[in-house]
Structure 1
Amino acid sequence: MYLSKTKARNIFIGVCITPAILLFVIFMVIPTIDVFRMSLYSWGGFSNQKQFVGFDNFKFLWNDMDFIQSFQNSILLIVIVALVTLVVAVFFAAILTKERIIGGNFFRVIFYIPNILSIVVIAGIFSAVYAPSNGLLNSVFAVLNLDFWQQKWLGNQQIVIYSVAGALVWQAIGYYMVMYMSSMASIPASYYEAASLEGASPFRQFFDITLPLIWNNIRTTLTFYIISTVNLSFLLVTAMTGGGPDGSTEVFLSYMYEQAYGNSTYGYGMAIGVVVFLFSFALAAIISHITKRDVLEY
Structure 2
Amino acid sequence: MKMKTRRRWFLLFCLLPGLLLLTLFKLYPTVEVFQKSFYLWTGIGDEPKWVGFQNFIDLFHDDVFLLSLRNTGFLMLVVPVLTLFIALINASILTRSKLKERGLYRTLFFFPSILSFVVIAILWSFIYHPTIGFLNSGLDFIGLSSWALPWLGDERTVLWALAITMIWQAVGYYMVMYMAGIDSISPDLYEAAGIDGATPIQQFIHITIPMLWEIIRITIIFSINGVLTISFIIVSIMTGGGPNRHSEVIMTYLYSQAFSNSNFGYAMAIGVFVFVMSFLLAILSNRLTRREAS
Moved more, 146-155 or 260-269: 146-155
Q: Which amino acid aligns with 1:195?
A: A
Structure 1: distance between partners of 2:213 and 2:13: 37
Deviation sequence 1:80-137 (CA, Å, 0-9, x none): 1011101100000101111121311011111111111111110111011001112111
Tell me the distance in 2 between the aligned counterparts of 1:264 and 1:2. Answer: 56
Question: How do 1:18-167 and structure 2 match up within 5 A?
Answer: 18-167=16-165
The answer for the alignment partner of 1:215 in structure 2 is: 213
Supply the distance in 1 between the matched residues of 2:148 and 2:31 (Cα, whole angstroms): 48
Letter in 1 for 2:26: M
Name the CA distance, whole Å, in 1 between partners of 2:52 and 2:264. 14
Secondary structure class of the residue paired with 2:164: helix
SS of 1:290's partner is helix
Cα separation, partners in 2 of 1:184 and 1:46, compared to 1, 3 Å: same
AA of the residue aligned to 1:214: L
Deviation per residue, 1:9-37 (Å, 9 max, x gap):
54444333333232222211111111110
TM-score between the two structures when normalised by the length of structure 1: 0.94
SS in 2 for 1:292: helix
Q: Distance in 2 between matches of 1:2 and 1:18?
A: 21
Structure 2 gaps, min length 5: none
RMSD: 1.6
Shift of 1:266: 0.5
Give distance in 2, aligned partners of 1:22 and 1:294.
40
**Structure 1 SS opposite 2:243:** coil
Q: For structure 1, which runs of at least 5 residues remain unmatched after alignment?
A: none
- What is the rounded CA distance, in whole Å, between the counterparts of 2:130 and 2:87 in structure 1? 29
- 1:286 aligned residue (261, 284, 287): 284
Give percent identity, aligned residues only. Answer: 41
Q: Secondary structure at the match of 2:3?
A: coil
Length, aligned pairs only:
294
